[in-house]
């Protein structure tokens, strides 16, 4: 069934069609609309789930962790300050190997208070052991929620499905909501390997001495390393049933590209417009959109970006004292490999300042004019 819906509601429908059983959330704009619709679905029994109102995002994730330990398919959503308030509990979910799926709407961190998009909220959760998917359309948001449950429940690692504030969260697009029977066939009910029940009590996450701790972290990494292949496999399976491919990355006009613009989130689709215009001007440009940030798709980035003559990484985020976060990651992926093109780092669009095709064209021209990056960061669009 096709519906015209906003990105927030694409998350809600994704959670509904995946048959989430427990939803715990605290309202923070713009995710408020995600759980508003889910609470209505729970009240009208469109969705047979327990909706838990809590008093903070920290508690929301705590409730999700408890529900997941009890064996329920669990969903929540948040944004910016809410996500960062959850930070401690994000470690509890991944360390406890609980396949919670969470929507996060990328909003810039305060101060100053901002309701506009940038990626520093979710990227500062980089090392919490969560899988991170960055989406570029409302359809992709819905599809990715379904896939995220499948991947998370297979690996017992939680997932974040991330979308840009306003550019997706409040933008209405046509979204195909798949048939329930088909989703049920793709995503069977969650059968946890360990389940907390009154008849079999356990202590979870108790005191873990140096004798024991190390191996739990080793196992989390080993399973995280299985995620890229599983995301590709479940993405192909998704395409067979629903006709839409879900992968680690999406490449556009990259095969013969001299210059590859690496992006994430909605900026990827803006970059495609710029790629078409650049090609009309005679610049052989391409766009590589990184969809999965954790685990980082090293192989795909090497295969695709390694072929280009130059790579420009466009970050809507910054690691203060270092540089753009995707720029760091792309550099670490390409370092030491045979095909190692010069990589240029650009920061733009912080706090929701528009990223337009002109932005990408400026970036492309700056990159093509230089042999190598002369500075760690090139700021695009900053008034200075």
Partner 1 sequence: MKNKKKAEKIIFRSEKDVPLMPMSLGSMLFNKTGAWRNIRPVVDLSNCIQCGICWKFCPDVAISIENEFPVVDYDYCKGCGICAEECPSKCIAMVEEER
Nearer to partner 1 by Cβ, of 215 and 354: the residue is 215
HEC sequence for 363-384: HHHHHHHCCCCCCCCEECCCCC
Question: For partner 1, which stretch binds (CB under 8 A), given 76-84, 91-99, 162-170, 326-334?
Answer: 91-99
Question: For partner 1, which stretch binds (CB under 8 A), given 31-39, 210-218, 259-267, 291-299?
Answer: 210-218
CA atoms within 13 A on the CB side of 321: 0
Q: Output the six-digit token pair for 365.
A: 């021209």
Nearer to partner 1 by Cβ, of 189 and 205: the residue is 205
Nearer to partner 1 by Cβ, of 196 and 366: the residue is 196
Is there binding between residue 43 and partner 1 (CB under 8 A)? Answer: no
Query: What part of residues 215-234 is at the interface with partner 1 (CB under 8 A)?
Result: 215-216, 218-219
- Sign of the C-alpha dihedral, residues 247, 151, 42, 165? negative
Nearer to partner 1 by Cβ, of 192 and 351: the residue is 192
Question: For partner 1, which stretch binds (CB under 8 A), given 32-40, 90-98, 140-148, 304-312?
Answer: 90-98
Nearer to partner 1 by Cβ, of 70 and 366: the residue is 70
Nearer to partner 1 by Cβ, of 108 and 157: the residue is 157
Residue 197 DSSP one-character state: B
> Binding-site residue total for partner 1 (CB under 8 A)?
21
Taking the complex as a whole, the smallest distance from the CB of residue 152 to partner 1 amounts, in Å, to 13
**How many whole angstroms from its chain centre is CA 340?**
26
Query: What part of residues 246-305 is at the interface with partner 1 (CB under 8 A)?
Result: none
Residue from 112, 188, 198, 206 touching partner 1 (CB under 8 A): that is 206
- Tokens 């759980």 belong to which residue? 35
Per-residue interface string for the shown chain with partner 1, residues 173-202, x marking contact by CB under 8 A: --------------------xx-------x
Taking the complex as a whole, the smallest distance from the CB of residue 380 to partner 1 amounts, in Å, to 44
Taking the complex as a whole, the smallest distance from the CB of residue 97 to partner 1 amounts, in Å, to 5
Q: How far apart are CA 282 and CA 9, in angstroms?
A: 40
Is there binding between residue 208 and partner 1 (CB under 8 A)? Answer: yes
Q: How far apart are CA 188 and CA 191, in angstroms?
A: 9
Q: How far apart are CA 64 and CA 89, in angstroms?
A: 10
Q: How far apart are CA 262 and CA 119, in angstroms?
A: 15
Decide if 317 contacts 118 (C-beta within 8 A).
Answer: yes
- Tokens 């090293």 belong to which residue? 298
Q: Output the six-digit token pair for 351.
A: 């706090």
Q: Is the peptide bond before 112 cis (omega within 30 degrees of 0)?
A: yes
Residue from 96, 103, 295, 352 touching partner 1 (CB under 8 A): that is 96
Q: Output the six-digit token pair for 37.
A: 């619709």
Residue from 29, 91, 95, 358 touching partner 1 (CB under 8 A): that is 95
Q: How far apart are CA 353 and CA 1, in angstroms?
A: 34
Nearer to partner 1 by Cβ, of 46 and 208: the residue is 208
User: Residue 176, SS3?
Assistant: strand
Residues at the contact surface with partner 1, assessed by CB under 8 A: 95-97, 156, 193-194, 202-209, 211-213, 215-216, 218-219
């Amino acid at each position: 069934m096709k519906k015209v819906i906003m990105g927030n509601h694409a998350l809600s429908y994704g959670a509904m069609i995946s048959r989430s059983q427990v939803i715990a959330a605290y309202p923070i704009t713009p995710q408020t609309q995600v759980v508003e619709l889910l609470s209505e679905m729970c009240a009208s029994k469109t969705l047979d789930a327990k909706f838990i109102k809590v008093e903070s995002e920290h508690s929301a994730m705590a409730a999700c962790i408890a529900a997941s330990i009890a064996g329920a398919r669990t969903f929540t959503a948040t944004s910016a300050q809410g996500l960062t308030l959850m930070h401690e509990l994000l470690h509890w979910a991944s360390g406890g190997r609980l396949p919670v799926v969470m929507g996060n709407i990328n909003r810039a961190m305060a101060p100053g208070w901002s309701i506009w998009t940038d990626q520093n909220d979710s990227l500062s959760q980089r090392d919490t052991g969560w899988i991170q998917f960055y989406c570029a359309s409302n359809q992709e948001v819905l599809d990715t929620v379904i896939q995220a449950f499948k991947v998370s429940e297979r690996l017992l690692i939680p997932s974040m499905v991330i979308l840009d504030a306003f550019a997706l969260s409040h933008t209405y697009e046509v979204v195909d909501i798949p048939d329930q029977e088909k989703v049920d066939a793709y995503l069977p009910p969650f059968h946890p390997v360990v389940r907390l029940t009154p008849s079999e009590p356990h202590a979870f996450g108790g005191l873990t001495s140096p004798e024991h701790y190390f191996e739990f972290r080793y196992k989390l990494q080993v399973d995280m390393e299985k995620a890229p292949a599983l995301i590709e496999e479940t993405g192909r399976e998704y395409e067979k049933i629903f006709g839409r491919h879900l992968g680690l990355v999406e490449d556009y006009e990259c095969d013969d590209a001299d210059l590859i613009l690496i992006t994430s989130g909605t900026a990827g689709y803006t970059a495609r417009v710029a790629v078409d215009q650049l090609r009309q001007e005679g610049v052989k440009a391409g766009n590589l959109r990184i969809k999965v940030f954790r685990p980082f798709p090293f192989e795909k980035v090497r295969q695709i970006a390694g072929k280009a003559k130059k790579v420009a990484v466009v970050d809507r985020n910054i690691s203060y004292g270092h540089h753009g976060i995707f720029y760091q990651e792309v550099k670490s992926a390409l370092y030491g490999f045979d095909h190692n093109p010069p990589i240029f780092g650009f920061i733009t669009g912080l706090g929701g300042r528009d990223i337009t095709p002109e932005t990408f064209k400026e970036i492309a021209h700056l990159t093509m004019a230089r042999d190598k990056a002369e500075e760690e960061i090139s700021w695009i669009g900053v008034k200075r």
